[in-house]
Amino acid sequence: MRQHVNPLSKNFDEIEKIPSLLEIFDDPKLNLHLDIGCASAEFLFDLASNNKNWNYLGIEIRERLVKTAKLKLQDKEIKNLYFVFGNANNILNDYHNQFIVKNLKSISFNFPDPWFKKKHYKRRVIQPGFINFLANSMQIGSLIFIKTDVKDLFEYMDLTILSNLNFKKIDKKDFNYSESFNPNEFKTSREKYVVINELNIFDSVYIKV
């Protein structure tokens, strides 16, 4: 069951300041991947435990999930993973946190909340203004991954990203997952549910040009 939080609520106006990469990771020079809407982060724990040559950052708007993930992180002593609580749009746009976007190799949006009603589209995490901000801040060659089981949402995200001329879609047959942030092709929690229930998956990868 999906639990939706309104990202436009004033509760998320206060923004967590992300410490420097040197403070949050053992080796700040590793490639950096950001997962937006990481929920309870099993996916990021799988990635960080198995790929020590990448650093991973998760942003999640449900505070309880972030607190639990942070506690689990302390227990496991994983040094290439960090969590931030809040609305990803506000956090990354904040002046103090913009260094994160400049340092990213890739970003994933896995099964974002669909917000089916048209009047709620503005709550969707992918917005034209946000994509424009990413286009102006991400390095050339960095990647955006999107994945969802909702066809309408996929079409909306695909159109929003491709409307920005700084992003081009990569043909799947030309894409080598073994060199990406997810070489083992781990699945997120939602993706496991979608696979078990034989629902469709719509996904794409875009490169900043």
Ligand X SMILES: C[S@@+](CC[C@H](N)C(=O)[O-])C[C@H]1O[C@@H](n2cnc3c(N)ncnc32)[C@H](O)[C@@H]1O
- Residues marked active site are found at 113
Q: Does 54 bind ligand X (CB under 6 A)?
A: no
Nearer to ligand X by C-beta: 68 or 168?
A: 68
The two tokens of residue 18 are 């992300």
Q: Residue 208: name the closest of 109, 139, 162 by CA.
A: 139
Q: Which of 15, 21, 37, 105 binds ligand X (CB under 6 A)?
A: 37
Residue 85 CB burial class (10 angstroms; 0-12, 13-18, ≥19): buried
Taking CB under 6 A as the rule, does residue 39 contact ligand X?
yes
Q: Which of 5, 24, 30, 162 binds ligand X (CB under 6 A)?
A: 5
Quick one: which segment of 60-68, 92-100, 134-142, 149-157 binds ligand X (CB under 6 A)? 60-68
DSSP state of 161: H
Annotate 21-57 with b (16+ C-beta within 10 A) or e (fewer): beebbeeeebbbbbbbbbbbbbbbbbbbeebeebbbb
| E runs forming strands in the chain | 31-36, 54-60, 81-85, 104-110, 143-148, 167-169, 202-208
Segment lying near ligand X (by CB under 6 A), choices 20-28, 46-54, 104-112, 167-175: 104-112
**1 half-sphere exposure, CB direction, 13 A CA radius:** 1
The answer to whether 150 contacts ligand X (rule: CB under 6 A) is no
Contact status: 88 vs ligand X (CB under 6 A): yes
Which residues in the 113-132 window bind ligand X by CB under 6 A? 113, 125
The H or E element spanning position 23 is helix 21-24
- Is residue 111 a contact residue for ligand X (CB under 6 A)? yes
Task: Work out which of 105, 112, 137, 181 binds ligand X, going by CB under 6 A.
Answer: 112
Q: Whose Cβ is closer to ligand X: residue 127's or residue 164's? A: 127
Binding residues vs ligand X (CB under 6 A):
2, 5, 7, 36-39, 59-62, 87-89, 110-113, 125, 188-191
